[in-house]
Amino acid sequence: MISKANIENIKIAAGLIRDGKLVAFPTETVYGLGANGLDPLAVAKIFEVKQRPSFNPLILHISDIKELHSICSSIDDTVQILIDKFWPGPLTLVLEKKDIVPGIVSSGLDTVAVRMPDNDIALELIGNAGVPVAAPSANTFGMLSPTSPEHVEKQLGNKVDMILDGGSTKVGVESTIIQVINHVPVLLRPGGLPVEEIERLAGKVQIGIPMNEQPNSPGQLPFHYSPKVPLRFIDEVTQSDLLNKKTGALFFKKEIPGYDSASIKILSPSGDLRIAAANLFSLLHELENEMVDLIIVERIEEKGLGLAIMDRLKKASNKSH
């Protein structure tokens, strides 16, 4: 399963990425579990393989600065300074995203995390794939981050289509994550690039709240996706709740009769959880855009990707007023 990272294999790996498959590859920080970052179904496979009980926004890896402008809008001056100095390198920047970035990459946020890794194998792979590569660390949920191809094989061996061998990673901890808000750099995750180095160029870094330590009340943080419309599970609503309301419904496989909705969305007509995960955020956004007053959703079984989908929906329904 571990393949030598020669040009031939890198090209094969790039083809796999383009075909919607998963490739584990070295970066300077840790090994990444990569998929075509513009293909929501390929990205859904990442969550399936990692067995995360929830969705987490992913980092898009690029090899060329031109790619940045296709996925992000408005690059602020401070961001540009950081890019010029630290890319390629262990710095991830959270930026305003363009529509081309699927909701499953950003967990429905308006922002997307981007970095250019400082590793020739990674850069060759991304360049040959011709698409930004979405990649979390290539470990199973809750397990140690992989810094060698053997670590990846141990955890994900038969679940990835290829593991590119780049030896041990030189940094060994994940990238530092920064979001510049009103020209102030905010630290979302400490990592491989010391904060002091960033401060030398961009001024005092404010300490943000890391994503994985967020309070249980989404919506309080600037970077947490929360639907603008109240959301309820169908078993929680009564007919009178629906009276005089424009409701949007989100069903798993097919419409459940008895819910008179202005707009009906189906996560996956074939009942495929991967497709459901890939569609989740974009369908919620569509319902929001259609200006419904209430979104009603069907519960799905909390197995496989169903767990992450339900986690997201429960959070959205908790926050509903």
Residue 223 interface partner, choices Mg ion, ligand TXA, none, CB cut-off 5-8 Å depending on type = ligand TXA
Residue 55 interface partner, choices ligand TXA, Mg ion, none, CB cut-off 5-8 Å depending on type = none
Q: Which span (131-139, 197-205, 274-282, 290-298) binds ligand TXA, by CB under 6 A?
A: 131-139
Compute the radius of gyration of the chain from its Cα atoms: 20
CB of 89 to ligand TXA, least distance (A): 10
Exposure string (b/e) for 189-207, b if CB count within 10 Å is 16 or more? bbbbbebeebeeebeebee
Q: Which is nearer to ligand TXA, 28 or 298 (CB)?
A: 28
Instruction: Answer yes or no whether residue 137 interacts with Mg ion by CB under 5 A.
Output: yes
Among 63, 78, 111, 147, binds ligand TXA (CB under 6 A): 111
Q: Which is nearer to ligand TXA, 39 or 298 (CB)?
A: 39
Residue 152 interface partner, choices Mg ion, ligand TXA, none, CB cut-off 5-8 Å depending on type = none
The two tokens of residue 264 are: 């009906």
Binding mask 198-237 for ligand TXA (x = CB under 6 A): -------------xx----------x--------------
- SS3 category, 218: coil
Q: Which is nearer to ligand TXA, 25 or 252 (CB)?
A: 25
Query: CB within 8 A of 156, min separation 6: which ones?
Result: 24, 33, 49, 138, 139, 140, 163
Q: Which is nearer to ligand TXA, 147 or 247 (CB)?
A: 147
- Which of 319, 249, 312 has the alpha carbon at shortest distance from 283? 249
Instruction: Answer yes or no whether residue 177 interacts with ligand TXA by CB under 6 A.
Output: yes
Quote the crossing angle between the two packed helices 40-50 and 273-289, to the nearest 10°. 120
| Residue numbers 27-66 binding ligand TXA by CB under 6 A | 27, 29-30, 32, 56-59
- Which of 259, 250, 251, 248 has the alpha carbon at shortest distance from 290? 248
- SS3 category, 184: strand
CB of 212 to Mg ion, least distance (A): 9
Q: How many positions of this chain bind ligand TXA (CB under 6 A)?
A: 27
Strand partners, 113: 59, 94
* C-alpha span between 110 and 116 (Å, rounded): 20
Q: Is the dihedral of CA 31, 37, 39, 45 positive or negative?
A: positive
Among 137, 247, 268, 279, binds ligand TXA (CB under 6 A): 137
Among 123, 135, 187, 193, binds ligand TXA (CB under 6 A): 135
The pairing of strands 23-25 and 32-36 is antiparallel
The pairing of strands 184-189 and 162-165 is unpaired
Instruction: Answer yes or no whether residue 189 interacts with ligand TXA by CB under 6 A.
Output: yes
What residues make contact with ligand TXA under the rule CB under 6 A? 27, 29-30, 32, 56-59, 92, 94, 106, 109, 111-113, 117, 135-137, 174-175, 177, 188-189, 211-212, 223
What residues make contact with Mg ion under the rule CB under 5 A? 137
